[in-house]
Every structure is written in structure tokens, then in C-alpha cells.
Amino acid sequence: MPQLFLNETSCETTADPDRVNRAMTELVRAIVAVARVDRPGTVLVAREPVNALRLAKDHPIAKWVGSPGAKELWQRLLLMQTKYPHEDAYPDGETFSDIAYSHEGVPVTGLGAAHLMGGAGVSLPLEPCWDTDRVTLAREELLDEEDGGSAITSVEVPHAATREHVDTHLPWIHEETQAALRDGLSGIRTGAELWEQCPELFLHLRFLPHVEKQMRELKQYWVHPVRKRLAEMDRAVQLWQPGTEFDEPQWGSFVTPEHATRKRDYCKFTDLDGTQQYFDTHLRFTPGAGRLHFRFLKDTRRVHIAHIGHKLGA
């Protein structure tokens, strides 16, 4: 199961103490429900140690621990794997300082971290907006110097505040668990392993010959971000229906064309049919300035990939 990131904003309200305690009991029951499905893989990520959490204004977690029926749930929570702060879940050396997330205009670090790391958000069900199995966030990302400014996109994050919300995610949790057990995508550790499995895993993707070397030589910290982007792209092509409102697949991450000057200088490659083509459309992966340049061919429903690695020309 992906990591569960505590939404710190849901802990910053003012509410009746009994209501806060009931909300915390419901949230911990939801977390325990996830752990029952994937005990070794469930990790709770918070901005501080769980025994230091404040559940609401003037309401430290100790008040909940002392409430009726909370002791056993508290002990289960303590036995779980935990990380703090949220940034401790990021790859080594990565800060994602160029990306910010908000919900209805309010910064949400925990939910943003859940989106960055492919996890799920969990919240105290004290406000109606957190009583949902999915949360929509605004993601703002600084663009390259050539483009200037920032880009704001809308993204969705799996979310749970109650056991009922967890029920909607059970197929996803089981799928992630089984993938790890069968050493599928989640079990890939090297670029060479990823390259060898590409024909089976990504039926809609094609790679220019020199990309094999790039993928085999991927740094370890880039292997999972790259395989995640490839999986998103393959899934997007599979779901795309010609003739709908979308002219191309919905890629699942922020995709932009290259700046005109950089397109001319760096983005022309010999495609698989021997013709010279521009591969200026690209998406990003982290840590660092990772870039994946590609073309989408509507007639064949295939993505041709020309570059996976550092920013071209850098």
C-alpha cells in the first residue's frame, strides 16, 4: 500500500473535545483497516511524531488517548511504521521546493506529499470537505527559466477519513500489495530491470534505439519515478478515446512543449521510421531536472520516446 500522509490542515480547526475524540477514533479505525490488508506496507507519514500531534486547537493527542475506547487503537497506531516530517518520505536530496499544493486556497503540505509520492491522504473528519474518498488539489509548479512563471493544474489524491472511504480503495490497495508480492512494477530496482520488462509492461510505448542505454544507466533514485511516468503514459493511451473532447490522452502529470529556441537546438531526433521529427513535448520527473521527451502518434495509438534523463542541453 502507498504511504498514508496525514493532512495537517484537518487538525487546525476548533471543535468540541468530544467531537474531536470521535473524529480521531474514526480516523485511526480507517488507518487500521488499511493495515489489515497490507500490514508490512502501511506507513503513516505526519509532520511530527504521532505522540506530539495536535488534533485541533488546544487539543493534544493525549486528550484522545485518555478517552473511552481509545487505548487499544492508540497501541495499534504506535505499532505501525511511521515517518515524520512529511519530507522524510521524499527521495534522498529531494525537497520539491518548486511545487506547492493547496485546497480551496489553503496550503496542504501532507496532501501534496501524498500526490508527489503516489500515496493517499488521511484526515480528521471534522469538516465536511474531508468527508470524501478523493480530494481535488491545486498544484502550482515553477516553470523553467525559459518559460518563466508557474503553472497551476488540478490533481486528485486518494483520501480517507473513515472506514467507508477505505472500502472504496480496497481494489487499489490489493493491487499494490499483489504487485509488490509478485515482484512486478513495485519490485523493479534497476534501470536494466525496467528496460527488460518494458515490452510486457508498456504495450503502447515505443523507444528510440538510444533510449535503451539511457534507461539501463538510470540512477537508482530515478528508476521508480521513470517507471511511474511510463505506467501513467501507457494507461493514458489505453483509456484515450478518439473523437472525444480530449485531442490526446490525459497524461496524468504536467506535460509542456519545449521553448521554441530549445526545440530548434535540442529536440530533433531520428524517429523509428527514419524521419527527422521534433520531440519537444516533455514531462518531468524528480529528484532533479529529469525530463522525458516524446511524440504521440494518433493513427497508431503509440507514444514514441526519444529521451529519458537530464534536461536536454543542461
pLDDT at 244 exceeding the cut of 70: no
Distance CA 109, CA 6 (A): 9
pLDDT at 183 exceeding the cut of 50: no
Give the tens place of pLDDT for each residue, 189-237: 799 999 999 999 999 999 999 999 999 999 888 888 899 899 989 988 9
Domain ranges for the chain: 4-181, 188-310
Distance CA 214, CA 285 (A): 14
Contact (Cβ atoms closer than 8 angstroms) between residue 248 and residue 204: no
Q: What is the pLDDT of residue 146?
A: 57
Confidence band of 145 (pLDDT split at 50, 70, 90): low
DSSP 8-state symbol, 283: E
All 3 cell numbers of residue 209?
534505439
User: The cell 524528480 sits on which residue?
Assistant: 286
pLDDT at 286 exceeding the cut of 80: no
- Mean pLDDT of the chain, nearest integer: 88
All 3 cell numbers of residue 29?
479505525
pLDDT at 176 exceeding the cut of 90: no
Q: What would the mean pLDDT of 254-270 be, rounded to a whole number?
A: 89
Give the tens place of pLDDT for each residue, 33-43: 999 887 777 89
Distance CA 216, CA 194 (A): 8
Whole-model pTM: value is: 0.68
pLDDT at 276 exceeding the cut of 70: yes
Contact (Cβ atoms closer than 8 angstroms) between residue 2 and residue 119: yes
Give the tens place of pLDDT for each residue, 114-140: 988 878 999 999 999 999 999 999 988
Q: Nearest to residue 123, comparing CAs of 42, 39, 53, 37?
A: 53
Q: Pick the range with the lowest mean pLDDT from 51-60, 243-252, 283-292.
A: 243-252
Q: Percentage of the chain surpassing pLDDT 70?
A: 91
Q: Pick the range with the lowest mean pLDDT from 108-117, 150-159, 175-184, 285-294.
A: 175-184
Adjacency order of strands within the sheet including 255-257: 205-207, 302-310, 290-297, 281-285, 255-257
pLDDT at 178 exceeding the cut of 70: no
Determine the distance from the C-alpha atom of residue 94 to the mean position of all C-alpha atoms in its chain, rounded to a whole number. 14
pLDDT at 185 exceeding the cut of 60: no
